[in-house]
A and B are shown apart, each in its own frame.
Chain A
Amino acid sequence: MTSDPDFAAFAAERADALLRYGYVLSGDPHDAADLTQEALARLHRAWPRVRRKDDPEAYVRVVMARLHISVWRRRRRESLSVDPPDRAWEDERPSDREQGLWRALTVLPRKQRAVLVLRYYEDLTDAEIARVLGIARGTVRSHASHGLARLRTVIGDTATDRSLR
Protein backbone atom coordinates (compact mmCIF):
# COMPACT_ATOMS: atom_id res chain seq x y z
CA MET A 1 0.00 0.00 0.00
CA THR A 2 3.00 2.26 0.27
CA SER A 3 2.58 3.16 -3.39
CA ASP A 4 -0.75 4.77 -2.51
CA PRO A 5 -0.05 6.67 0.68
CA ASP A 6 -3.27 8.67 0.47
CA PHE A 7 -5.31 5.51 0.34
CA ALA A 8 -3.22 3.83 3.04
CA ALA A 9 -3.67 6.82 5.27
CA PHE A 10 -7.41 7.01 4.62
CA ALA A 11 -7.81 3.30 5.31
CA ALA A 12 -5.73 3.42 8.46
CA GLU A 13 -7.58 6.45 9.75
CA ARG A 14 -11.12 5.31 8.96
CA ALA A 15 -10.88 1.55 9.45
CA ASP A 16 -12.18 1.63 13.02
CA ALA A 17 -15.14 3.86 12.13
CA LEU A 18 -15.97 1.64 9.16
CA LEU A 19 -15.77 -1.45 11.36
CA ARG A 20 -18.26 0.14 13.73
CA TYR A 21 -20.57 0.81 10.83
CA GLY A 22 -20.06 -2.72 9.52
CA TYR A 23 -20.79 -4.07 12.96
CA VAL A 24 -24.14 -2.33 13.35
CA LEU A 25 -25.04 -3.24 9.76
CA SER A 26 -24.29 -6.93 10.16
CA GLY A 27 -24.43 -7.51 13.92
CA ASP A 28 -21.36 -9.72 13.71
CA PRO A 29 -17.71 -8.78 14.27
CA HIS A 30 -16.41 -11.23 11.62
CA ASP A 31 -18.87 -9.97 9.05
CA ALA A 32 -17.97 -6.40 10.01
CA ALA A 33 -14.29 -7.10 9.29
CA ASP A 34 -15.12 -8.83 6.00
CA LEU A 35 -17.45 -6.05 4.87
CA THR A 36 -14.89 -3.41 5.75
CA GLN A 37 -12.07 -5.24 4.03
CA GLU A 38 -14.00 -5.95 0.86
CA ALA A 39 -15.31 -2.39 0.67
CA LEU A 40 -11.82 -0.96 1.22
CA ALA A 41 -10.44 -3.26 -1.48
CA ARG A 42 -13.08 -1.92 -3.88
CA LEU A 43 -12.33 1.62 -2.84
CA HIS A 44 -8.64 0.95 -3.46
CA ARG A 45 -9.34 -0.10 -7.02
CA ALA A 46 -11.50 2.97 -7.61
CA TRP A 47 -9.25 5.28 -5.60
CA PRO A 48 -8.01 7.69 -8.31
CA ARG A 49 -11.55 8.26 -9.58
CA VAL A 50 -13.19 8.46 -6.15
CA ARG A 51 -10.61 10.81 -4.77
CA ARG A 52 -11.04 13.10 -7.74
CA LYS A 53 -14.81 13.14 -7.83
CA ASP A 54 -16.39 11.88 -4.66
CA ASP A 55 -16.04 11.63 -0.97
CA PRO A 56 -14.15 8.34 -0.26
CA GLU A 57 -15.90 7.85 3.05
CA ALA A 58 -19.36 8.20 1.52
CA TYR A 59 -18.31 5.90 -1.31
CA VAL A 60 -17.07 3.16 0.97
CA ARG A 61 -20.17 3.35 3.18
CA VAL A 62 -22.43 2.97 0.17
CA VAL A 63 -20.37 -0.02 -0.95
CA MET A 64 -20.68 -1.60 2.50
CA ALA A 65 -24.44 -1.12 2.65
CA ARG A 66 -24.94 -2.53 -0.82
CA LEU A 67 -22.61 -5.44 -0.21
CA HIS A 68 -24.51 -6.26 2.92
CA ILE A 69 -27.91 -6.43 1.23
CA SER A 70 -26.65 -8.05 -1.96
CA VAL A 71 -26.35 -11.75 -2.60
CA TRP A 72 -22.64 -11.28 -1.85
CA ARG A 73 -21.57 -14.14 0.32
CA ARG A 74 -18.84 -13.45 2.73
CA ARG A 75 -15.71 -14.96 1.39
CA ARG A 76 -13.32 -15.39 4.25
CA ARG A 77 -10.25 -14.83 2.15
CA GLU A 78 -8.53 -13.19 5.03
CA SER A 79 -9.25 -14.53 8.43
CA LEU A 80 -9.05 -11.63 10.72
CA SER A 81 -8.72 -11.56 14.40
CA VAL A 82 -11.69 -10.12 16.12
CA ASP A 83 -10.27 -10.30 19.57
CA PRO A 84 -11.76 -7.97 22.14
CA PRO A 85 -10.77 -4.37 21.49
CA ASP A 86 -7.56 -3.35 23.19
CA ARG A 87 -9.11 -0.31 24.71
CA ALA A 88 -11.53 0.44 27.45
CA TRP A 89 -15.17 0.50 26.69
CA GLU A 90 -16.72 3.76 27.63
CA ASP A 91 -19.81 2.05 28.82
CA GLU A 92 -20.24 -1.65 29.26
CA ARG A 93 -23.70 -1.77 30.62
CA PRO A 94 -26.45 -1.56 28.04
CA SER A 95 -29.93 -1.82 29.51
CA ASP A 96 -31.96 -5.01 29.17
CA ARG A 97 -34.12 -3.26 26.62
CA GLU A 98 -31.09 -2.31 24.52
CA GLN A 99 -29.71 -5.83 24.70
CA GLY A 100 -33.12 -7.14 23.69
CA LEU A 101 -33.30 -4.74 20.77
CA TRP A 102 -29.80 -5.66 19.60
CA ARG A 103 -30.80 -9.32 19.63
CA ALA A 104 -34.09 -8.56 17.94
CA LEU A 105 -32.28 -6.84 15.08
CA THR A 106 -30.71 -10.18 14.16
CA VAL A 107 -34.08 -11.60 13.14
CA LEU A 108 -34.72 -8.88 10.58
CA PRO A 109 -34.14 -9.48 6.87
CA ARG A 110 -30.99 -7.74 5.71
CA LYS A 111 -32.71 -4.98 3.77
CA GLN A 112 -34.94 -4.07 6.70
CA ARG A 113 -31.98 -3.98 9.03
CA ALA A 114 -29.92 -1.92 6.59
CA VAL A 115 -32.73 0.64 6.26
CA LEU A 116 -33.02 0.96 10.05
CA VAL A 117 -29.26 1.30 10.48
CA LEU A 118 -29.06 3.97 7.79
CA ARG A 119 -31.98 5.82 9.35
CA TYR A 120 -31.10 5.58 13.04
CA TYR A 121 -27.32 5.12 13.05
CA GLU A 122 -26.29 7.07 9.98
CA ASP A 123 -29.18 9.56 10.34
CA LEU A 124 -29.94 9.54 6.63
CA THR A 125 -33.23 10.72 5.18
CA ASP A 126 -35.42 8.21 3.34
CA ALA A 127 -34.41 9.83 0.04
CA GLU A 128 -30.72 9.37 0.89
CA ILE A 129 -31.33 5.79 1.99
CA ALA A 130 -33.07 5.11 -1.32
CA ARG A 131 -30.01 6.38 -3.18
CA VAL A 132 -27.54 4.45 -1.02
CA LEU A 133 -29.34 1.13 -1.39
CA GLY A 134 -30.48 1.74 -4.96
CA ILE A 135 -34.15 1.16 -4.16
CA ALA A 136 -37.32 3.28 -4.42
CA ARG A 137 -38.21 5.69 -1.64
CA GLY A 138 -41.50 3.91 -1.08
CA THR A 139 -39.61 0.68 -0.59
CA VAL A 140 -37.45 2.37 2.04
CA ARG A 141 -40.56 3.42 3.94
CA SER A 142 -42.11 -0.02 3.75
CA HIS A 143 -38.89 -1.73 4.89
CA ALA A 144 -38.63 0.71 7.79
CA SER A 145 -42.19 0.23 8.94
CA HIS A 146 -42.06 -3.56 8.60
CA GLY A 147 -38.74 -3.61 10.41
CA LEU A 148 -39.97 -1.47 13.29
CA ALA A 149 -43.17 -3.52 13.55
CA ARG A 150 -41.15 -6.71 13.72
CA LEU A 151 -38.91 -5.27 16.42
CA ARG A 152 -41.97 -4.29 18.45
CA THR A 153 -43.29 -7.81 18.20
CA VAL A 154 -39.99 -9.42 19.18
CA ILE A 155 -39.42 -7.04 22.07
CA GLY A 156 -43.00 -7.62 23.18
CA ASP A 157 -42.53 -11.38 22.98
CA THR A 158 -39.40 -11.15 25.06
CA ALA A 159 -41.22 -9.16 27.72
CA THR A 160 -44.02 -11.71 27.81
CA ASP A 161 -41.58 -14.58 28.09
CA ARG A 162 -39.89 -12.95 31.01
CA SER A 163 -43.15 -12.25 32.85
CA LEU A 164 -44.16 -15.90 32.54
CA ARG A 165 -41.02 -17.17 34.23
Chain B
Amino acid sequence: MTLEDDLRATLARAATHAPVAPPGLLDGVARRRRRRARSRLLASAAAVVLAATGTVLAVRHERPEPVVVTPSLPAITQEQVAGSPPVEEVWPGAVQIAPASLKNGKRLRPLLIADDHTTLLTTWSSHERAGAVYAYDQRTRELRQVTLVPSRKGEIADGFVVAGDRLVWHVKTDTSATLWRAPLAGGTAERLPGTLPHVPWATDLVRDRLVYSAGDIGVFSVPVTGGPPAPVPGGEGLHLLEWPWAGDPFRPSDGEKDVRFRRLVNLETGEVRHAALTPGDRYVVCGVSTCSGLHADGRPYARARDGSGERQVPDLPQGLAADRFMAPTVTGRDEVEQYVVDVVTGRSGSLELNVPLDGGERSFTTMGVTVDDRDMLSAHRTGDDTLVFIDLKRITSGS
Protein backbone atom coordinates (compact mmCIF):
# COMPACT_ATOMS: atom_id res chain seq x y z
CA MET B 1 0.00 0.00 0.00
CA THR B 2 1.32 3.40 -0.93
CA LEU B 3 0.69 6.51 1.11
CA GLU B 4 -1.82 7.60 -1.53
CA ASP B 5 -3.78 4.35 -1.14
CA ASP B 6 -3.73 4.72 2.63
CA LEU B 7 -4.92 8.27 2.31
CA ARG B 8 -7.81 7.19 0.13
CA ALA B 9 -8.82 4.54 2.65
CA THR B 10 -8.39 6.92 5.59
CA LEU B 11 -10.54 9.64 4.06
CA ALA B 12 -13.24 7.19 2.98
CA ARG B 13 -13.44 5.68 6.44
CA ALA B 14 -13.28 9.03 8.21
CA ALA B 15 -16.23 10.19 6.12
CA THR B 16 -18.38 7.45 7.62
CA HIS B 17 -17.69 8.96 11.04
CA ALA B 18 -19.05 12.36 10.05
CA PRO B 19 -22.03 13.70 11.95
CA VAL B 20 -25.43 13.07 10.41
CA ALA B 21 -27.44 16.11 9.46
CA PRO B 22 -29.62 17.32 12.31
CA PRO B 23 -32.88 18.91 11.15
CA GLY B 24 -31.63 22.18 12.66
CA LEU B 25 -29.02 22.32 9.93
CA LEU B 26 -31.61 23.01 7.29
CA ASP B 27 -33.61 25.33 9.54
CA GLY B 28 -30.54 27.46 9.76
CA VAL B 29 -30.33 27.60 5.99
CA ALA B 30 -33.93 28.70 5.79
CA ARG B 31 -33.37 31.29 8.46
CA ARG B 32 -30.41 32.81 6.68
CA ARG B 33 -32.46 32.95 3.56
CA ARG B 34 -35.45 34.37 5.38
CA ARG B 35 -33.54 37.44 6.49
CA ARG B 36 -33.19 38.46 2.90
CA ALA B 37 -36.46 37.25 1.53
CA ARG B 38 -39.03 37.69 4.23
CA SER B 39 -41.47 39.70 2.14
CA ARG B 40 -41.27 37.34 -0.80
CA LEU B 41 -41.90 34.32 1.39
CA LEU B 42 -44.95 35.91 2.94
CA ALA B 43 -46.28 36.75 -0.47
CA SER B 44 -45.85 33.24 -1.75
CA ALA B 45 -47.35 31.69 1.38
CA ALA B 46 -50.43 33.83 0.96
CA ALA B 47 -50.74 32.80 -2.65
CA VAL B 48 -51.24 29.11 -1.86
CA VAL B 49 -54.76 28.15 -2.82
CA LEU B 50 -56.01 24.65 -2.33
CA ALA B 51 -58.27 22.92 -4.75
CA ALA B 52 -61.04 21.28 -2.76
CA THR B 53 -62.41 19.03 -5.46
CA GLY B 54 -61.60 15.37 -5.91
CA THR B 55 -59.16 14.55 -8.67
CA VAL B 56 -59.12 11.38 -10.70
CA LEU B 57 -55.58 10.26 -11.27
CA ALA B 58 -54.49 7.50 -13.54
CA VAL B 59 -52.18 5.17 -11.71
CA ARG B 60 -49.88 2.95 -13.69
CA HIS B 61 -48.79 -0.59 -12.78
CA GLU B 62 -50.36 -2.94 -10.24
CA ARG B 63 -53.82 -1.37 -10.13
CA PRO B 64 -56.17 -1.51 -13.07
CA GLU B 65 -58.57 0.99 -11.50
CA PRO B 66 -57.83 4.70 -11.34
CA VAL B 67 -57.54 5.93 -7.78
CA VAL B 68 -59.77 8.75 -6.67
CA VAL B 69 -57.71 10.99 -4.46
CA THR B 70 -59.95 13.19 -2.38
CA PRO B 71 -58.40 15.97 -0.34
CA SER B 72 -61.02 15.27 2.26
CA LEU B 73 -59.26 16.63 5.31
CA PRO B 74 -58.31 20.24 5.95
CA ALA B 75 -54.67 21.19 5.64
CA ILE B 76 -52.50 21.37 8.74
CA THR B 77 -50.50 24.58 8.52
CA GLN B 78 -47.42 25.84 10.34
CA GLU B 79 -49.54 28.66 11.72
CA GLN B 80 -51.90 26.19 13.39
CA VAL B 81 -49.05 24.17 14.81
CA ALA B 82 -46.99 27.10 16.12
CA GLY B 83 -47.67 27.89 19.75
CA SER B 84 -49.25 24.52 20.57
CA PRO B 85 -49.17 23.58 24.27
CA PRO B 86 -46.45 21.21 25.53
CA VAL B 87 -46.80 17.57 24.47
CA GLU B 88 -47.41 16.48 28.08
CA GLU B 89 -50.52 18.67 28.17
CA VAL B 90 -51.79 17.52 24.79
CA TRP B 91 -51.23 13.82 25.41
CA PRO B 92 -51.14 13.35 29.19
CA GLY B 93 -50.47 9.73 30.06
CA ALA B 94 -48.47 9.17 26.90
CA VAL B 95 -45.58 11.46 27.81
CA GLN B 96 -42.83 10.76 30.31
CA ILE B 97 -40.01 13.08 31.28
CA ALA B 98 -36.69 11.80 32.56
CA PRO B 99 -33.38 13.40 33.50
CA ALA B 100 -30.86 13.77 30.69
CA SER B 101 -27.78 13.27 32.83
CA LEU B 102 -26.50 11.48 35.89
CA LYS B 103 -25.41 13.34 39.01
CA ASN B 104 -21.80 12.91 37.92
CA GLY B 105 -22.61 14.77 34.71
CA LYS B 106 -22.61 11.77 32.38
CA ARG B 107 -25.21 12.21 29.70
CA LEU B 108 -28.11 9.84 29.30
CA ARG B 109 -29.74 8.80 26.09
CA PRO B 110 -33.34 7.67 25.63
CA LEU B 111 -33.63 3.93 25.11
CA LEU B 112 -37.24 2.82 25.43
CA ILE B 113 -40.47 3.08 27.37
CA ALA B 114 -40.73 0.05 29.65
CA ASP B 115 -44.25 0.71 31.02
CA ASP B 116 -46.60 3.61 31.75
CA HIS B 117 -44.32 5.05 34.41
CA THR B 118 -40.86 3.76 33.60
CA THR B 119 -38.41 4.79 30.91
CA LEU B 120 -35.05 3.22 30.20
CA LEU B 121 -31.99 5.30 29.46
CA THR B 122 -28.41 4.55 28.68
CA THR B 123 -25.05 6.15 29.14
CA TRP B 124 -22.59 5.63 26.36
CA SER B 125 -18.86 5.64 26.27
CA SER B 126 -18.32 6.54 22.64
CA HIS B 127 -20.51 6.73 19.61
CA GLU B 128 -22.90 3.79 19.59
CA ARG B 129 -21.34 2.06 22.57
CA ALA B 130 -23.77 1.88 25.42
CA GLY B 131 -22.18 1.90 28.87
CA ALA B 132 -24.97 1.17 31.33
CA VAL B 133 -28.76 1.04 31.28
CA TYR B 134 -30.75 3.05 33.82
CA ALA B 135 -34.46 3.01 34.66
CA TYR B 136 -36.31 6.16 35.65
CA ASP B 137 -39.59 5.92 37.54
CA GLN B 138 -41.97 8.84 37.00
CA ARG B 139 -43.82 8.19 40.24
CA THR B 140 -40.87 7.96 42.61
CA ARG B 141 -38.52 10.09 40.49
CA GLU B 142 -35.91 7.50 41.18
CA LEU B 143 -33.14 6.74 38.75
CA ARG B 144 -31.51 3.36 39.22
CA GLN B 145 -28.96 1.34 37.30
CA VAL B 146 -30.42 -1.73 35.61
CA THR B 147 -27.25 -3.29 34.25
CA LEU B 148 -23.87 -2.68 32.70
CA VAL B 149 -23.70 -3.36 28.98
CA PRO B 150 -20.54 -5.26 28.14
CA SER B 151 -19.15 -4.48 24.72
CA ARG B 152 -15.70 -4.32 23.23
CA LYS B 153 -14.34 -1.65 20.95
CA GLY B 154 -16.01 -1.88 17.58
CA GLU B 155 -19.08 -3.59 18.98
CA ILE B 156 -22.46 -1.92 19.18
CA ALA B 157 -25.24 -2.74 21.66
CA ASP B 158 -28.60 -2.29 20.00
CA GLY B 159 -32.10 -3.70 19.58
CA PHE B 160 -33.13 -3.37 23.23
CA VAL B 161 -36.56 -4.86 23.96
CA VAL B 162 -38.42 -5.64 27.15
CA ALA B 163 -39.37 -9.33 27.34
CA GLY B 164 -41.40 -9.96 30.48
CA ASP B 165 -39.26 -9.01 33.45
CA ARG B 166 -36.07 -8.93 31.43
CA LEU B 167 -34.27 -6.60 29.10
CA VAL B 168 -32.92 -8.31 25.97
CA TRP B 169 -30.55 -6.82 23.42
CA HIS B 170 -27.88 -7.76 20.96
CA VAL B 171 -24.26 -6.75 20.62
CA LYS B 172 -23.12 -6.64 17.03
CA THR B 173 -19.87 -6.55 15.16
CA ASP B 174 -19.58 -5.89 11.42
CA THR B 175 -20.81 -9.36 10.54
CA SER B 176 -22.46 -11.03 13.50
CA ALA B 177 -24.27 -10.49 16.76
CA THR B 178 -24.75 -12.10 20.16
CA LEU B 179 -27.84 -11.88 22.35
CA TRP B 180 -27.72 -10.62 25.92
CA ARG B 181 -30.20 -10.18 28.70
CA ALA B 182 -30.47 -8.74 32.19
CA PRO B 183 -33.27 -8.59 34.79
CA LEU B 184 -35.21 -5.31 34.61
CA ALA B 185 -35.18 -5.24 38.40
CA GLY B 186 -31.41 -4.90 38.17
CA GLY B 187 -28.56 -7.37 37.81
CA THR B 188 -25.71 -8.66 35.74
CA ALA B 189 -25.94 -9.02 31.99
CA GLU B 190 -25.63 -12.58 30.74
CA ARG B 191 -24.84 -13.72 27.26
CA LEU B 192 -27.43 -16.00 25.68
CA PRO B 193 -26.39 -19.11 23.75
CA GLY B 194 -25.68 -18.95 20.04
CA THR B 195 -24.36 -16.38 17.59
CA LEU B 196 -26.40 -14.67 14.91
CA PRO B 197 -24.52 -14.64 11.58
CA HIS B 198 -26.22 -11.32 10.81
CA VAL B 199 -26.21 -7.67 11.76
CA PRO B 200 -29.77 -7.34 13.09
CA TRP B 201 -31.92 -4.28 12.48
CA ALA B 202 -35.48 -3.32 13.43
CA THR B 203 -35.70 -5.88 16.20
CA ASP B 204 -39.17 -6.67 17.47
CA LEU B 205 -40.48 -9.12 20.07
CA VAL B 206 -43.20 -11.43 18.79
CA ARG B 207 -44.45 -13.80 21.48
CA ASP B 208 -41.34 -15.73 22.56
CA ARG B 209 -39.16 -14.89 19.56
CA LEU B 210 -37.19 -11.88 18.43
CA VAL B 211 -37.71 -10.99 14.77
CA TYR B 212 -35.22 -8.82 12.93
CA SER B 213 -34.03 -7.71 9.51
CA ALA B 214 -30.62 -8.84 8.33
CA GLY B 215 -29.49 -6.25 5.78
CA ASP B 216 -31.18 -7.10 2.51
CA ILE B 217 -30.90 -10.85 3.13
CA GLY B 218 -34.31 -11.06 4.71
CA VAL B 219 -36.24 -11.35 7.94
CA PHE B 220 -35.14 -13.83 10.61
CA SER B 221 -36.33 -14.89 14.03
CA VAL B 222 -34.54 -16.32 17.05
CA PRO B 223 -35.84 -17.54 20.44
CA VAL B 224 -35.72 -14.73 22.97
CA THR B 225 -33.77 -17.11 25.21
CA GLY B 226 -31.07 -17.56 22.55
CA GLY B 227 -30.36 -20.33 20.08
CA PRO B 228 -30.12 -20.68 16.33
CA PRO B 229 -31.92 -18.12 14.13
CA ALA B 230 -34.36 -19.24 11.42
CA PRO B 231 -35.48 -17.40 8.30
CA VAL B 232 -39.08 -16.19 8.42
CA PRO B 233 -40.90 -17.80 5.47
CA GLY B 234 -41.76 -15.25 2.80
CA GLY B 235 -39.34 -12.72 4.28
CA GLU B 236 -36.44 -13.33 1.88
CA GLY B 237 -34.94 -10.06 0.68
CA LEU B 238 -37.35 -7.97 2.73
CA HIS B 239 -36.85 -5.41 5.47
CA LEU B 240 -39.04 -5.46 8.55
CA LEU B 241 -41.14 -2.33 8.98
CA GLU B 242 -43.35 -3.45 11.87
CA TRP B 243 -44.25 -7.04 12.50
CA PRO B 244 -45.85 -8.68 10.55
CA TRP B 245 -45.28 -6.15 7.75
CA ALA B 246 -42.05 -6.14 5.73
CA GLY B 247 -41.13 -4.39 2.49
CA ASP B 248 -38.31 -3.86 0.05
CA PRO B 249 -35.06 -2.63 1.64
CA PHE B 250 -34.19 1.04 1.29
CA ARG B 251 -31.60 1.88 -1.32
CA PRO B 252 -30.45 5.49 -1.15
CA SER B 253 -29.46 5.24 -4.82
CA ASP B 254 -33.05 4.75 -5.88
CA GLY B 255 -33.56 8.49 -5.90
CA GLU B 256 -36.42 10.84 -5.20
CA LYS B 257 -38.99 9.02 -7.32
CA ASP B 258 -38.63 5.80 -5.40
CA VAL B 259 -41.45 4.98 -3.01
CA ARG B 260 -40.21 3.50 0.22
CA PHE B 261 -42.26 0.53 1.45
CA ARG B 262 -44.56 0.85 -1.54
CA ARG B 263 -45.07 -2.90 -1.43
CA LEU B 264 -45.65 -4.51 1.95
CA VAL B 265 -45.93 -8.21 2.70
CA ASN B 266 -47.70 -9.62 5.73
CA LEU B 267 -45.31 -12.32 6.95
CA GLU B 268 -48.07 -14.09 8.87
CA THR B 269 -50.75 -14.29 6.17
CA GLY B 270 -48.86 -13.63 2.92
CA GLU B 271 -51.13 -10.67 2.08
CA VAL B 272 -49.47 -8.13 -0.21
CA ARG B 273 -50.39 -4.44 -0.14
CA HIS B 274 -49.42 -1.86 -2.74
CA ALA B 275 -49.59 1.86 -2.06
CA ALA B 276 -51.45 4.11 -4.50
CA LEU B 277 -49.17 6.41 -6.46
CA THR B 278 -49.75 9.85 -7.85
CA PRO B 279 -47.58 10.51 -10.92
CA GLY B 280 -44.97 13.18 -10.28
CA ASP B 281 -44.83 12.63 -6.51
CA ARG B 282 -41.42 12.58 -4.90
CA TYR B 283 -39.92 11.50 -1.56
CA VAL B 284 -42.84 9.20 -0.87
CA VAL B 285 -42.42 7.07 2.24
CA CYS B 286 -45.16 4.64 3.21
CA GLY B 287 -45.93 2.99 6.50
CA VAL B 288 -48.31 0.15 7.27
CA SER B 289 -51.44 2.23 6.65
CA THR B 290 -50.32 5.69 5.47
CA CYS B 291 -47.91 7.41 3.07
CA SER B 292 -46.36 10.85 3.02
CA GLY B 293 -44.63 12.70 0.22
CA LEU B 294 -44.39 15.75 -1.96
CA HIS B 295 -46.73 16.43 -4.88
CA ALA B 296 -45.26 17.69 -8.15
CA ASP B 297 -46.59 21.18 -7.32
CA GLY B 298 -44.61 21.23 -4.08
CA ARG B 299 -47.36 20.45 -1.58
CA PRO B 300 -46.28 18.04 1.17
CA TYR B 301 -49.01 15.59 2.09
CA ALA B 302 -50.02 12.63 4.24
CA ARG B 303 -52.72 10.17 3.28
CA ALA B 304 -53.84 6.57 3.54
CA ARG B 305 -51.95 3.93 1.51
CA ASP B 306 -54.89 3.66 -0.85
CA GLY B 307 -54.68 7.40 -1.59
CA SER B 308 -57.74 8.40 0.42
CA GLY B 309 -57.99 10.88 3.28
CA GLU B 310 -55.25 13.13 1.99
CA ARG B 311 -54.33 16.27 3.83
CA GLN B 312 -51.64 18.85 3.36
CA VAL B 313 -49.06 18.88 6.13
CA PRO B 314 -46.77 21.71 7.29
CA ASP B 315 -43.51 20.20 6.08
CA LEU B 316 -42.17 17.29 4.07
CA PRO B 317 -41.95 14.35 6.48
CA GLN B 318 -39.41 11.55 6.06
CA GLY B 319 -42.21 9.13 6.68
CA LEU B 320 -44.70 9.23 9.52
CA ALA B 321 -43.85 7.72 12.91
CA ALA B 322 -46.39 5.02 13.88
CA ASP B 323 -48.17 5.89 10.60
CA ARG B 324 -49.41 9.30 11.76
CA PHE B 325 -46.87 11.51 13.55
CA MET B 326 -44.47 14.05 12.15
CA ALA B 327 -42.32 16.65 13.88
CA PRO B 328 -41.92 19.90 11.94
CA THR B 329 -39.76 22.70 13.29
CA VAL B 330 -41.20 26.19 13.24
CA THR B 331 -38.99 29.25 13.33
CA GLY B 332 -40.43 32.11 15.37
CA ARG B 333 -39.05 35.56 16.00
CA ASP B 334 -36.65 34.57 18.78
CA GLU B 335 -36.53 30.82 18.78
CA VAL B 336 -37.00 27.60 16.90
CA GLU B 337 -39.49 25.13 18.27
CA GLN B 338 -40.24 21.59 17.22
CA TYR B 339 -43.76 20.20 17.37
CA VAL B 340 -45.21 16.72 17.24
CA VAL B 341 -48.20 16.65 14.91
CA ASP B 342 -50.77 13.85 14.71
CA VAL B 343 -51.85 14.05 11.06
CA VAL B 344 -54.92 11.91 11.76
CA THR B 345 -56.48 14.14 14.42
CA GLY B 346 -54.66 17.34 13.53
CA ARG B 347 -53.58 17.75 17.17
CA SER B 348 -50.12 19.06 17.87
CA GLY B 349 -47.92 19.51 20.91
CA SER B 350 -44.72 21.43 21.50
CA LEU B 351 -41.57 19.55 22.44
CA GLU B 352 -40.51 22.65 24.39
CA LEU B 353 -36.98 22.58 23.03
CA ASN B 354 -36.94 26.41 23.16
CA VAL B 355 -33.98 26.73 20.86
CA PRO B 356 -32.89 30.37 20.84
CA LEU B 357 -32.15 31.84 17.42
CA ASP B 358 -28.98 33.43 18.72
CA GLY B 359 -27.91 30.44 20.70
CA GLY B 360 -24.24 31.26 20.70
CA GLU B 361 -22.07 28.26 21.31
CA ARG B 362 -24.72 26.14 22.96
CA SER B 363 -25.65 23.11 20.97
CA PHE B 364 -29.07 21.63 20.63
CA THR B 365 -30.69 18.67 19.00
CA THR B 366 -33.96 18.47 17.23
CA MET B 367 -35.65 15.17 16.62
CA GLY B 368 -35.49 13.40 13.28
CA VAL B 369 -38.68 11.41 12.77
CA THR B 370 -38.78 8.57 10.25
CA VAL B 371 -41.15 5.82 9.25
CA ASP B 372 -38.99 3.43 11.27
CA ASP B 373 -40.13 5.08 14.53
CA ARG B 374 -42.98 2.78 15.44
CA ASP B 375 -43.35 2.93 19.23
CA MET B 376 -42.01 6.14 20.62
CA LEU B 377 -40.37 9.48 19.95
CA SER B 378 -37.90 11.15 22.24
CA ALA B 379 -36.14 14.47 22.40
CA HIS B 380 -33.64 16.27 24.59
CA ARG B 381 -34.81 19.47 26.25
CA THR B 382 -31.45 21.14 26.50
CA GLY B 383 -32.65 24.01 28.70
CA ASP B 384 -33.85 21.98 31.66
CA ASP B 385 -31.67 19.00 30.71
CA THR B 386 -34.48 16.47 30.49
CA LEU B 387 -35.49 13.81 28.02
CA VAL B 388 -39.07 13.70 26.85
CA PHE B 389 -40.51 10.33 25.77
CA ILE B 390 -43.76 10.12 23.79
CA ASP B 391 -45.48 6.75 23.79
CA LEU B 392 -47.03 6.69 20.32
CA LYS B 393 -48.79 3.38 20.88
CA ARG B 394 -50.66 4.80 23.84
CA ILE B 395 -51.88 7.71 21.73
CA THR B 396 -52.92 5.56 18.78
CA SER B 397 -54.67 2.96 20.90
CA GLY B 398 -56.55 5.60 22.86
CA SER B 399 -58.28 7.32 19.97
Instruction: Report the stretch among A49-57, A76-84, A133-141 that lies at the interface.
Output: A76-84
Give the chain A neighbours of B32 by CB distance below 8 A. 37, 41, 44, 77
Give the chain A neighbours of B7 by CB distance below 8 A. 101, 116, 120, 148, 151
Distance between Cα atoms of A40 and B296 in the complex (Å): 23
Query: With A5-B298, A33-B19 in contact, do A81 and B363 touch (Cβ < 8 Å)?
Result: yes
Q: Are A15 and B10 in contact (CB under 8 A)?
A: no
Query: With A3-B44, A121-B15 in contact, do A82 and B25 touch (Cβ < 8 Å)?
Result: no
Q: How many A-B residue pairs have CB under 8 A?
A: 188
Give the chain B neighbours of A155 by CB distance below 8 A. 3
B30 within 8 A of A: yes
Distance between Cα atoms of A16 and B364 in the complex (Å): 18
Interface flags for B20-49 (1: CB within 8 Å of A; 0: not) read: 111011111111110010001100110000
Q: Are A91 and B174 in contact (CB under 8 A)?
A: yes
Q: Are A83 and B365 in contact (CB under 8 A)?
A: yes
Interface size bucket, B side?
Answer: 35 or more
A19 nearest CB neighbor, chain B only: B18
Distance between Cα atoms of A32 and B78 in the complex (Å): 30
B17 within 8 A of A: yes
Instruction: Report the stretch among B138-146, B153-161, B240-248, B259-267 that lies at the interface.
Output: B153-161
Give the chain A neighbours of B12 by CB distance below 8 A. 121
Give the chain A neighbours of B54 by CB distance below 8 A. none
Distance between Cα atoms of A27 and B18 in the complex (Å): 9
B20 nearest CB neighbor, chain A only: A85
* Prevailing SS type, chain A contact patch: helix
B256 within 8 A of A: yes
Give the chain B neighbours of A6 by CB distance below 8 A. 298
Min distance, Cβ B296 to any Cβ of chain A, angstroms:
10
Which of these, A1, A41, A76, A81, contacts B364 with CB under 8 Å? A81
Distance between Cα atoms of A116 and B314 in the complex (Å): 43
A27 nearest CB neighbor, chain B only: B14
Min distance, Cβ A84 to any Cβ of chain B, angstroms:
4
Q: Are A78 and B359 in contact (CB under 8 A)?
A: yes
Which of these, A22, A76, A89, A120, contacts B11 with CB under 8 Å? A120
Q: Are B156 and A23 in contact (CB under 8 A)?
A: no
A11 within 8 A of B: yes
B16 within 8 A of A: yes
Q: Are A3 and B45 in contact (CB under 8 A)?
A: yes
Query: With A90-B174, A116-B7 in contact, do A36 and B25 touch (Cβ < 8 Å)?
Result: yes
A99 nearest CB neighbor, chain B only: B10
B316 within 8 A of A: yes
Q: Are B363 and A1 in contact (CB under 8 A)?
A: no
Distance between Cα atoms of A105 and B193 in the complex (Å): 44
B172 within 8 A of A: yes
Q: Which 6 A-B pairs have the closest CB atoms?
A: A15-B21, A23-B18, A78-B28, A5-B298, A81-B365, A20-B15
A sample of 16 cross-chain residue pairs with beta-carbon separation below 8 angstroms, ordered by A number, consists of: A1-B29, A3-B41, A9-B283, A13-B283, A20-B15, A23-B19, A24-B14, A33-B19, A76-B360, A78-B28, A81-B365, A92-B153, A94-B14, A97-B6, A105-B10, A148-B7
Residues of B within 8 A of A (CB): 3-4, 6-22, 24-33, 36, 40-41, 44-45, 78, 124, 126-128, 153-154, 156, 158, 172, 174, 199, 256, 282-283, 294, 298, 300, 314-316, 318, 358-366, 368
Other than the given A3-B41, A15-B21, A102-B10, 6 more pairs (CB < 8 A) read: A2-B298, A22-B18, A24-B11, A77-B32, A78-B27, A79-B361
